[in-house]
Structure 1
């Protein structure tokens, strides 16, 4: 099973690298023309998140045995879903190294390294596939994150669409990111006697890393999109000048850009 899983991983890597290349041939929206690479990169990430996130949700609904027995209980197609995700993270890592400096990409590269290490265990051993599929539920939140970033790049903030994307991001972060992370952490603690110590360390490191990133990301979005965007009461006898309005708009764009560095 391991060679077959590696074959799917390689095919996925080639497909996502091909998608990166294909998007270079398509026109970029004028509002995002100043950052074409980031637009293309996020579009590819959105495709991956929708594919694997929806696939994981449907898979767990149709085959709940994967959650009941995360080590051994899984249908053959579940391994394909995990391998597709590993291929994407490898392709995305290559894309970042080609278009960003190591200083710009190190945070996401560390995230990708941890994720690939954990998911590859399922591919190489054909075990823990169910646990890996549960972890792919996080991609449902990532899809909302990517949509929010595309709206930021398109200068659609503030707007009703952007507000809806923000609330969808926060809601899915709680339901499809923090809840699965908590469930996997509890399962690992309860079943550590069945899991080899190196895998306990690897899984624990992955859960702590992704959990810390998720909480930090949620707080940043809550502060920048919700708390700081609340309307302030008008100041008596104060007229807003064009320069003041430009200053405030510039502050909003700067604040939103600060959350673009976190991808998943």
Structure 2
């Protein structure tokens, strides 16, 4: 079973690397031309989030035993889902190393390393697959995050679509990110006697890491997109001192956002 899971992981890695390469052959929208690599990278991440997030939600709906018994209660296709995600995170890590400096990518590389370590444990042991499937519900929030980032790269921060994406990101962050993280944390605390100590440490590290990133991300989006949202001033050449928006002739033309670099 472990060799089969590794085979699926390798195939997933090849597919996502191929998707990265294919997007290089396609034109980047003019509004995002200055950040063409970031545009391609987020598009690939969006494909992964749509695929695995919807797959995880449907899987848990059709096979709730995975949540009732996260250690052993899983069908074979659940292992395929986990392996597909491991392949993606490995491919995304390679893409970042090829296109960014280590100083630019180290935070996401640390995140990816923790996630790959946790998911790979399930593949190699054929256990805790249900727990990993629950964790992939977070990708439903990542769909909104990626759409929001693509709108930022396209300089659409003043649009209705961006406002909808921001509110959808906050809503799904609470429902599909914080709730599953809380459930997994509670399960780990209650069932730690069934889990080997090294896995408790690994899982706890992963939950704390992703949880901290999620809370920070939610606060930044809330502050930047909601609390600082004000009517556009009709003053020629006005520049907001907070560094979040700039206006020219009353029109929002750029928005610097620290959350742009954060991914799930």
**TM-score above 0.5, yes or no:** yes
Which position in structure 1 is the counterpart of 2:197? Answer: 197
- 242, 255, 259: which one aligns with 2:236: 242
- State whether residues 157 and 255 of structure 2, in contact with CA within 8 Å, keep that contact through their aligned partners in structure 1: no
Which position in structure 2 is the counterpart of 1:123? Answer: 123
TM-score (norm 2): 0.94
- Is 1:6 matched up with 2:6? yes
**CA, structure 1 residues 222+230, in 2 after alignment: closer, same or farther (shift >3 Å)?**
same
Which position in structure 2 is the counterpart of 1:82? Answer: 82
- State whether residues 245 and 255 of structure 2, in contact with CA within 8 Å, keep that contact through their aligned partners in structure 1: no
The alpha carbon displacement at 1:253 in A equals 6.8
- 2:261 match: secondary structure: coil
- 2:110 match: secondary structure: helix
The alpha carbon displacement at 1:194 in A equals 0.2
- State whether residues 140 and 172 of structure 1, in contact with CA within 8 Å, keep that contact through their aligned partners in structure 2: yes
**CA, structure 1 residues 245+211, in 2 after alignment: closer, same or farther (shift >3 Å)?**
closer
- State whether residues 108 and 263 of structure 2, in contact with CA within 8 Å, keep that contact through their aligned partners in structure 1: yes
The alpha carbon displacement at 1:261 in A equals 1.6
**C-alpha distance after superposition, 1:129-167 (max 9, x if no partner):** 000000000000011000000000001111110000000
Which position in structure 2 is the counterpart of 1:23? Answer: 23
The alpha carbon displacement at 1:259 in A equals 1.3
- State whether residues 245 and 256 of structure 2, in contact with CA within 8 Å, keep that contact through their aligned partners in structure 1: no
**CA, structure 1 residues 254+198, in 2 after alignment: closer, same or farther (shift >3 Å)?**
farther
Map residues 1-264 of structure 1 onto 2, 5 A cutoff. 1-231=1-231, 240-244=234-238, 249-250=245-246, 256-264=256-264
The separation in 2 between residues aligned to 1:71 and 1:253, in whole angstroms, is 50
- Runs of 5+ in structure 1 lacking a partner? 235-239
- State whether residues 152 and 255 of structure 2, in contact with CA within 8 Å, keep that contact through their aligned partners in structure 1: no
Count of aligned pairs between the two proteins = 258
- State whether residues 224 and 256 of structure 1, in contact with CA within 8 Å, keep that contact through their aligned partners in structure 2: no
The separation in 2 between residues aligned to 1:195 and 1:256, in whole angstroms, is 44
- State whether residues 224 and 255 of structure 1, in contact with CA within 8 Å, keep that contact through their aligned partners in structure 2: no
C-alpha RMSD of matched pairs (Å): 1.7
The alpha carbon displacement at 1:241 in A equals 3.2
The alpha carbon displacement at 1:250 in A equals 2.2
The alpha carbon displacement at 1:243 in A equals 1.4
- State whether residues 155 and 254 of structure 2, in contact with CA within 8 Å, keep that contact through their aligned partners in structure 1: no
The alpha carbon displacement at 1:255 in A equals 5.2
The separation in 2 between residues aligned to 1:241 and 1:165, in whole angstroms, is 28
- State whether residues 115 and 206 of structure 1, in contact with CA within 8 Å, keep that contact through their aligned partners in structure 2: yes
